[in-house]
Amino acid sequence: MHPTRFGGFEHSMSRILVTGGAGFIGSHLVDRLLERGDEVVCFDNFNDFYDPSIKRGNISEHQKSSAYTLIEGDLRNRADVAACFDGPIHQIVHLAAMAGVRPSLDNPGLYVDVNLRGTVNLYDEAIKVGVKKIVFASSSSVYGANEKVPFHEDDVVDHPVSPYAATKKAGELLSHTYHHIHGLDITCLRFFTVYGPRQRPEMAIHKFARLIDEGKSLPMFGDGTTRRDYTFVADIIDGVTKAMDSCAGFHVYNLGESQTIELRELIAVIADALGKKAIIDQRPEQPGDVPRTFADISRAKEELRYAPSTDVKTGVNHFVAWYLENVKNNP
Ligand SMILES: NC(=O)c1ccc[n+]([C@@H]2O[C@H](COP(=O)([O-])OP(=O)(O)OC[C@H]3O[C@@H](n4cnc5c(N)ncnc54)[C@H](O)[C@@H]3O)[C@@H](O)[C@H]2O)c1
């Protein structure tokens, strides 16, 4: 292994298991890891939460690399998970999960099976072969309807308002337990709404862009004054790789931009980037939605040297450029 310097931390080239590596965030992480010289094992079940052909597209470049191995399997299946450890693994980034707040209201059992049972399967198999270092994808949703802003890692997060959020909080708790009992080094990263090229098609910015572009009305839940901290995917990947390189003990970090925008204004920014008008269909607020998210990122800045740099207008312009080239003109 040859040490190199990345983001200020010593980095040794390693073989990394990325669960959910065919998804939105996972495929960007794999891009970055291959680029910096790591070997990658991607574990994904290509489920149909959204069109699996999108996920196949996400990994098509990765598959050209000899440093990349794909293992198709399901976190819920112990033998599938064990297959990830047939070769050496130095570190795990655990991104595979059922994501999304609203669908979790309809199918909480599935969220528990994948996000909790699946996580236990992964950690137990990791212990068997002595893999110690894990980065776990948590979520800003653990803050529930927290009124104090910005959200800090030390805030009480005992009141999740969706099954999805409850599974992410429980994932953090399990991570702590495995750290305590088995000595695993685990860093939990609370991602604040991530967007950018390859964003999941049902997520706000992607969905709004599509509807505005097609001249269709877009459903806006609530009066448009809810605020979100949107994080550009390249900034998230910067935070994930820094967390990987400093992974020791048990830690929880917020990864956001630490800037918020109102929903109504976000829609205007997307419409502007597309050069079109948004037709808004106002609907009642949805159960499970939170009024605002806003990350205090001082801990990640100080301890990880996390340095997000993409404001939402710049990020939306990048997204729209990608959307027009890759989705609209190449469906
Ligand atoms: N996108 C966001 O804004 C955001 C915010 C907070 C947290 N997160 C978390 O980040 C992670 C990645 O999110 P994303 O937006 O890239 O979602 P995604 O759905 O694009 O990626 C998740 C991947 O996991 C895979 N997967 C799901 N269930 C699996 C199973 N049982 N076995 C194997 N693979 C399985 C999916 O096929 C998918 O490719 C998730 O854990 C999510 O909860 C995302």
Tell me which residue has its CA closest to atom 12 in ligand 1: 95
What tens digit of pLDDT does each residue of 40-91 get? 999 999 999 999 999 999 999 999 999 999 999 999 999 999 999 999 999 9
Q: Name 6's bridge partners.
A: 9
Q: Which of 164, 178, 230, 306 is catalytic?
A: 164
Full set of structural domains in the chain with CATH: 3-198+232-258+294-309 (3.40.50.720)
What is the rounded CA–CA span in Å between residue 182 and residue 224? 46
Q: Which of 40-54, 90-104, 181-195, 317-331 has the lowest mean pLDDT?
A: 317-331
Q: How far is the CA of 137 from the centre of ligand 1 (A)?
A: 9
Percent of the chain with pLDDT over 70: 95
Mean pLDDT, residues 153-161 taken together: 96
User: pLDDT tier at 5 (50, 70, 90 boundaries)?
Assistant: very low
75 lines ligand 1 (CB under 6 A): yes
What tens digit of pLDDT does each residue of 279-298 get? 999 999 888 788 899 999 99
Listed in sequence order, the residues at least 6 apart from 86 whose beta carbon sits closer than 8 Å to its beta carbon are none
Please tell me the predicted confidence (pLDDT) of residue 1.
Answer: 39
Please tell me the predicted confidence (pLDDT) of residue 147.
Answer: 87
Q: How far is the CA of 235 from the centre of ligand 1 (A)?
A: 17
256 lines ligand 1 (CB under 6 A): no
What atom of ligand 1 comes closest to residue 49's alpha carbon? 19
What tens digit of pLDDT does each residue of 110-123 get? 999 999 999 999 99
Mean pLDDT, residues 163-181 taken together: 98
Is pLDDT of 9 > 70? no
- Local structure of 250: helix, strand or coil: strand
What is the rounded CA–CA span in Å between residue 24 and residue 70? 16
Q: Is 164 a catalytic residue?
A: yes
Please tell me the predicted confidence (pLDDT) of residue 10.
Answer: 52
55 lines ligand 1 (CB under 6 A): yes
Mean pLDDT, residues 91-99 taken together: 98
Structure tokens at 286: 């949805």
Please tell me the predicted confidence (pLDDT) of residue 328.
Answer: 79
User: pLDDT tier at 163 (50, 70, 90 boundaries)?
Assistant: very high
Please tell me the predicted confidence (pLDDT) of residue 331.
Answer: 58
Burial (CB < 10 A; 0-12, 13-18, 19+), residue 190, is buried
Please tell me the predicted confidence (pLDDT) of residue 4.
Answer: 43
How many Cβ atoms sit within 10 Å of the Cβ of residue 260? 21
What tens digit of pLDDT does each residue of 213-229 get? 999 999 999 999 999 99
